[in-house]
Amino acid sequence: MLTGMYLITGATGTTGGLVRELLLARGEAVRGMTRRPTRPDDVHGDYADPASLVGALDGVKAVYLVTATMNADHDLALLAAAREAGVRRIVRLSAIATGERWEGEVIAPWHLAADEAVRDSGLGWTVLRPSAFATNLLRDPVVNLTGDTRQGVIDPRDVAAVAVAALTTDDHDGQVYDLTGPEVLSVPEQAAVLGEVRGRPVPVVDADPDAVDARWRAGLRWALAGRNAVVTDHVSRALGRPPTTFRQWAEEVGRW
């Protein structure tokens, strides 16, 4: 059991917000990092201003690391400041397929460089590589970049639960978890389930993966080739319970 302050980066975002709430519910001491603090337990921190990370990390024992900026230098800056501050453990949010090659390109090289830096950091570490988030279906309209191909869509609450387990115990040190839900579903299939739960259709707009940020292209084309139609047992291994189904997520979170 690790006692002391937890720093949750990406605390205003999808998984960071959930990790913060789970830790608070356990009575842990938590600081949420954001570029625009609004809550009493927020702290200012911006990866583009490494000096700001020093204050954010003061007294911190473990960090939930979300960069979401597609820039491994940001992870390196956080890791350097964390080592300086005496942090003992990092749990990093990466993504499934990171480091695989597709059509001659490496998928998500920024995640790859950052994951390797975390593993080489000398700190305790866990890397979480989730599949597509169920919460992507909360966009209006839903943007579908993966056609009819299926993915092991995951409830971000499960990602957060694994993160909290990894932050608060030694049991997950040195683990790389590929986190998926219990089933593979395409975006249209997810929209159909969500529409059924809401009692009205969920609008979906198809988008061309070649028209988005080129850095996403290899990963999207890999998924379009059906390579992400994968279910793992890593949530069950980490939590001792199965992952949430998409329908359960839709009923508990997506019903508006």
Ligand X SMILES: NC(=O)c1ccc[n+]([C@@H]2O[C@H](COP(=O)([O-])OP(=O)(O)OC[C@H]3O[C@@H](n4cnc5c(N)ncnc54)[C@H](OP(=O)(O)O)[C@@H]3O)[C@@H](O)[C@H]2O)c1
| Contact status: 228 vs ligand X (CB under 6 A) | no
| Contact status: 133 vs ligand X (CB under 6 A) | yes
**Which helix (H) or strand (E) segment is 205 a member of?**
strand 204-206
Nearer to ligand X by C-beta: 60 or 170? 60
Task: Supply the minimum distance, in Å, between the C-beta of residue 67 and ligand X.
Answer: 6
Nearer to ligand X by C-beta: 67 or 121? 67
Length of the chain: 256
| Contact status: 73 vs ligand X (CB under 6 A) | no
Task: Supply the minimum distance, in Å, between the C-beta of residue 71 and ligand X.
Answer: 8
Task: Supply the minimum distance, in Å, between the C-beta of residue 132 and ligand X.
Answer: 4
Nearer to ligand X by C-beta: 16 or 124? 16
Which residues is 129 bridged to in the sheet? 178
* Spatial distance between the Cα atoms of 164 and 168, rounded to a whole number of angstroms: 6
Cα–Cα distances (Å) from 14 to 11, 20, 171, 189, in that order, read 8, 10, 24, 22
Number of residues that bind ligand X (CB under 6 A): 23
The residue from 43, 57, 66, 220 that contacts ligand X (CB under 6 A) is: 66
* Spatial distance between the Cα atoms of 79 and 119, rounded to a whole number of angstroms: 11
Nearer to ligand X by C-beta: 133 or 251? 133
Tokens of 218: 């290899």
**Count of Cβ atoms closer than 10 Å to residue 255 Cβ:** 10
Task: Supply the minimum distance, in Å, between the C-beta of residue 70 and ligand X.
Answer: 7
Cα–Cα distances (Å) from 22 to 11, 137, 185, 216, in that order, read 12, 23, 27, 31
* Spatial distance between the Cα atoms of 89 and 71, rounded to a whole number of angstroms: 21
The residue from 26, 39, 41, 48 that contacts ligand X (CB under 6 A) is: 48
Which residues is 177 bridged to in the sheet? 128
| Contact status: 164 vs ligand X (CB under 6 A) | no
Nearer to ligand X by C-beta: 1 or 125? 125
Task: Supply the minimum distance, in Å, between the C-beta of residue 1 and ligand X.
Answer: 25
Please identify, among the stretches 44-52, 57-65, 83-91, 168-176, the one whose residues bind ligand X according to the rule CB under 6 A.
44-52
Strands (E), 25-136: 30-34, 42-44, 60-65, 89-93, 101-102, 105-106, 124-130
Tokens of 195: 């529409």
Residues 4-33 that bind ligand X (CB under 6 A): 10-16
Residues 76-105 that bind ligand X (CB under 6 A): 93, 95
Binding residues for ligand X (CB under 6 A): 10-16, 34-36, 45-48, 66, 68-69, 93, 95, 130, 132-133, 136
